[in-house]
Amino acid sequence: MRELIETGLAQLGLAPQTPPAAPAQLERFGRLLLEKNQVMNLTAITDPADVATLHMLDCAALLTCGDFGGKTLIDVGTGAGFPGVPLKILEPTLTVTLLDALGKRVDWLNETCHALGLEGIAAVHGRAEEAGREAQLRERFDFATARAVAELRVLCELCLPFVRPGGFFLAMKGTDCQQELDRALPVIQALGGAVEGWRDYAIPHTHVSHRVIIVKKTAETPFQYPRRWAKIQKAS
């Protein structure tokens, strides 16, 4: 895993800014993930080389989409910690909140971040549509991120309320997401967001390309958002 990670980070142009300890830490995180995956459902990816590329390098590519130094970030529907944990390892000055609706995953993440010696990262148990109404989380973050959680229309309503005006929501998607984006545009505007653009990247050592949709928070989110889950799902 280590060599794939190291050469992959170089291919992404991230080598100069990568802390020396990061490749070993990412590998250790990957090993802890695979070990726990034997007894808890954390990831469908079980080959160490795929963990290095499809998890670690895929998430690392987000660092090419903004300057995260000294910023705050919430990773919504983080699951086993993607992309939040690799981002923290690669940018140690970033303060990270990992949010997930599954308590067991949250407990494992807190244990694992502690085992990795990471500080300034905490996993929180909760549903995004409820947490986004809490004063200590609403409009508090420079960045929100999400990968593989919901379609963009739903995802924007789950994530944009956490972002302070002037901050960004970075949605990790496939390169075939144009229709999803079109469907999300009305709600993005209603939530106080605007699509700034997107960035396509190839995951090193694979034939997979992904897209990051960059949504800027231009105004405060109106108080009626986020709505209840059933309502978000149903709304068009």
Among residues 20 and 44, whose Cβ is nearest to ligand SAH? 44
Q: How far is CA 225 from CA 16, 183, 236, in A?
A: 40, 18, 15
Minimum distance from CB of 126 to ligand SAH (Å)? 7
Among residues 14 and 76, whose Cβ is nearest to ligand SAH? 76
Minimum distance from CB of 216 to ligand SAH (Å)? 22
**Angstrom distance (rounded) from CA 5 to CA 131:** 34
Minimum distance from CB of 120 to ligand SAH (Å)? 20
Minimum distance from CB of 127 to ligand SAH (Å)? 4
**Helices 152-159, 178-190: inter-axial angle, 10-degree rounding:** 30
Minimum distance from CB of 231 to ligand SAH (Å)? 13
Minimum distance from CB of 26 to ligand SAH (Å)? 15
Nearest residue to 173 (alpha-carbon basis) of 207, 197, 200, 136: 200
Among residues 142 and 157, whose Cβ is nearest to ligand SAH? 157
Give me the residues that bind ligand SAH (CB under 6 A), please: 77-80, 82, 99-102, 105, 127-129, 147-149, 158
Q: Which residue has the tokens 């090419």?
A: 64
Among residues 32 and 70, whose Cβ is nearest to ligand SAH? 32
Are 60 and 14 contacting, i.e. CB atoms less than 8 angstroms apart? yes
Cis upstream peptide for 226 (omega within 30°): yes
Among residues 147 and 153, whose Cβ is nearest to ligand SAH? 147
Among residues 14 and 109, whose Cβ is nearest to ligand SAH? 109
Among residues 37 and 95, whose Cβ is nearest to ligand SAH? 37
Nearest residue to 203 (alpha-carbon basis) of 179, 175, 169: 175
Q: How far is CA 232 from CA 124, 178, 219, 227, 228, in A?
A: 22, 20, 20, 6, 6
Nearest residue to 173 (alpha-carbon basis) of 195, 193, 192: 195
Residue 137's φ and ψ, nearest 5 degrees, are: -115, -25
Which residue minimizes CB distance to ligand SAH?
A: 79
Minimum distance from CB of 171 to ligand SAH (Å)? 11
